[in-house]
Amino acid sequence: MYDVIVIGAGVSGCAVARWLSRYELNVCVLEKCEDVCEGTSKANSAIVHAGFDADEGSLMAKLNVRGNEMMDDLAKDLDIPFKRNGSMVVCIHKDELDGLKVLYERGVKNGVKGLKLLSKEEVLELEPNLSENVEGALLAPTGGIICPFELTIAMAENANENGVEFRFNTRVEDIKKGEDGLWHLRTNNGEYKAKYVVNAAGVYADKIHNMVSADKMHIIERRGDYCLLDKEVGGHVSHTIFPQPTKYGKGVLVTPTVHGNLLVGPTAIDIENKEGTATTAEGIDALTAKASENVRNLPMRNVITSFAGLRAHLEQHEFVIGEVKDAPCFIDVAGIESPGLSASPAIGEMVSEMLKEKMSLKEKENWISTRKGITRTEGLSIEEMNALIKENPAYGTIVCRCESITEGEILDAIHRPLGARSLDGVKRRTRAGMGRCQAGFCSPRTMDILSRELGLSYEEITKSGGKSNIVIERTKGEV
């Protein structure tokens, strides 16, 4: 029996888990996939939004601005990269310049600091690769870029270190209130019981909500296609470049990533398929065309991968965070689409405050607020590298050539709390396989390491759990 069960180990679930881990509580996170950060959290724009976009007075606006404010300290505490590169909303039609003013005023009301309207000349001086048609822009210096994998993984690791349990490959199939007054969660891995349930199930949040409530929820899966470009062209723009927003969202952006790639996306296509993360040729063509309206000479021949993510969109376009009316002790964290990543720390804080009050929680005396990330070799001096290699020779072996990731980093990723068990698990923790060859060279080597360290046979190694095995059997004859 747990005090709190969190359903879903995406960025919201992990944030809730991390903030709940401050208190004297038994918390368990149930995740249907084999790792954290497997849904919406792994395929998005990787942006920490400034907060001028959401409607004034909305929960979205409040949590976006609060999450943005919290990000510097959180990144420091959890040892993850975060950069305030600044966001720009670009206007390319003179008659739409008023739209920038509306955003500016909304941003000011939302509490966004440092907003500034820029003239054409000022914009082009800051971003020479923008379209010559640009008429002006809204600059938000507090906009930032972050790695969504590292943010989610770091919060999960920190929660785990503070005693939160994680159950992977565990899908919630039904939820009932038992006669004992507890929530009974039927899963493919047996039954779990808890006093409180937090539904942070992303695009499945409606399905989970509807298990306990007569007031039905409907999440629309809004697919976004993205292209990721080589680091060679990562400096094409330095700010995050947005078009002016439409009713489908913030539009196709062009942004550097915190690791130095260039990211272009997303499209916005409503699909009604919770697993529909297939990209389409039309989607990729559309985003290239859209992004090219604002950014000149977009180097699309340097694309190293394309992917699609699903936004968990609710018709009212608002976060739904709170106790479900007809299901006491059941907390929804639903409709977490953009700016969900930016808001995640504030979501964690809000839910933990809510439960603190309801459950009269006591803070732990020995809560560990910080987490040490994987020791990165990138950018170390020769002396620092040699000190590291002397201590552990595995840091002298490069496994991923494109991103210069050493065996030492991969071993760390496997053996740390909630460590990697698959190629994608290693990739999202270390970046091995995330470079321009897209794991062509390093996947057999990473498989060797996973096999050796986890005692798995080659056939058991997966790309990302489940049935995603890389090889199926031995070749003919003796090897």
Partner 1 sequence: MKTYDIVIVGGGPAGLAAAVAAKEAGNDSILILERDHELGGILNQCIHNGFGLHTFKEELTGPEYAYRFIKQVLDLGIEYKLNTMVMDISAEKIVTAMNREDGMFQIPAKAVILAMGCRERSRGALNIPGYRPAGIFSAGTAQRLVNIEGYMPGREVVILGSGDIGLIMARRMTLEGAKVKVVAELMPYSGGLKRNIVQCLDDYGIPLKLSHTVVDIEGKEHVKAVTIAEVGPDRKPIPGTEERYTCDTLLLSCGLIPENELSRAAGVKMSTVTSGPIVNESLETNIPGVFACGNVLHVHDLVDYVSEEAKRAGQNAVKYINDGCKLPAAEDKVIEVTATEGARYTVPSTINVDRMDDLLTVRFRVGDVYKNSFVSVYFDDERIMHNQKRILAPGEMEQIVLRKSQLQEHEGLKKITVKIEKE
Provide the annotated active-site residues. 49
Locus of tokens 């959401």: 54
What the block records as the tokens of 358 is 């309801």
**178, 235, 328, 440: which one contacts partner 1 (CB under 8 A)?**
440
What the block records as the tokens of 296 is 């000149």
Stretch that binds partner 1, among 5-13, 106-114, 312-320, 389-397 (CB under 8 A): 389-397
Stretch that binds partner 1, among 58-66, 76-84, 86-94, 270-278 (CB under 8 A): 270-278
* Residue 239 DSSP code: S
**d(Cα 304, Cα 297) in Å, to the nearest integer?**
17
Residue 49: exposure state from Cβ atoms within 10 A (0-12, 13-18, ≥19): buried
Q: How far is the CB of 422 from partner 1 (least distance, A)?
A: 9
**10, 283, 340, 348: which one contacts partner 1 (CB under 8 A)?**
283
Stretch that binds partner 1, among 121-129, 145-153, 157-165, 386-394 (CB under 8 A): 386-394
By CB under 8 A, the count of residues binding partner 1 is 55
Tell me which residues in 98-137 interact with partner 1 (CB under 8 A).
none
Rg (C-alpha) for the chain, rounded Å, is 22
Of 417 and 440, which CB lies nearer to partner 1 in the complex structure? 440
Grouping H, G, I as helix, E, B as strand and the rest as coil, residue 153 is helix
The amino acid at residue 210 is N
Give the closest residue to 224 by CA, choosing from 64, 341, 127, 140: 341
**305, 376, 419, 456: which one contacts partner 1 (CB under 8 A)?**
305
Q: Does 479 bind partner 1 (CB under 8 A)?
A: yes
Q: Does 404 bind partner 1 (CB under 8 A)?
A: yes
Locus of tokens 């972050």: 146
Stretch that binds partner 1, among 243-251, 262-270, 410-418, 435-443 (CB under 8 A): 435-443
Q: Does 220 bind partner 1 (CB under 8 A)?
A: no
**d(Cα 173, Cα 192) in Å, to the nearest integer?**
11
Q: Does 268 bind partner 1 (CB under 8 A)?
A: no
The amino acid at residue 349 is E
> Which residues are CB-neighbours of 364 under 8 A, at least 6 positions away?
21, 22, 23, 24, 162
Residue 77: exposure state from Cβ atoms within 10 A (0-12, 13-18, ≥19): middle
Q: How far is the CB of 405 from partner 1 (least distance, A)?
A: 11
**29, 228, 253, 312: which one contacts partner 1 (CB under 8 A)?**
228
Q: Does 169 bind partner 1 (CB under 8 A)?
A: no
Q: How far is the CB of 471 from partner 1 (least distance, A)?
A: 4
Cα 274 from chain centroid (whole Å) = 17
Answer yes or no: are the C-beta atoms of 30 and 167 closer than 8 Å. Answer: yes
Grouping H, G, I as helix, E, B as strand and the rest as coil, residue 26 is coil
**58, 129, 375, 469: which one contacts partner 1 (CB under 8 A)?**
469
Q: Does 227 bind partner 1 (CB under 8 A)?
A: yes
Answer yes or no: are the C-beta atoms of 248 and 219 closer than 8 Å. Answer: no
Q: Does 172 bind partner 1 (CB under 8 A)?
A: no
**240, 294, 443, 446: which one contacts partner 1 (CB under 8 A)?**
443
**d(Cα 14, Cα 166) in Å, to the nearest integer?**
10
Q: Does 397 bind partner 1 (CB under 8 A)?
A: yes
Q: Does 289 bind partner 1 (CB under 8 A)?
A: no
Of 57 and 444, which CB lies nearer to partner 1 in the complex structure? 444
Q: How far is the CB of 257 from partner 1 (least distance, A)?
A: 15
**d(Cα 17, Cα 219) in Å, to the nearest integer?**
23
Grouping H, G, I as helix, E, B as strand and the rest as coil, residue 264 is strand
The amino acid at residue 454 is L
Q: How far is the CB of 229 from partner 1 (least distance, A)?
A: 10
Q: Does 292 bind partner 1 (CB under 8 A)?
A: no
Of 25 and 227, which CB lies nearer to partner 1 in the complex structure? 227
Residues lying near partner 1 in the complex (CB under 8 A): 227-228, 232, 275, 277-281, 283-284, 303-307, 382, 385-386, 389-390, 393-394, 396-398, 401-402, 404, 436-441, 443-444, 447, 458-459, 462-464, 466-476, 479
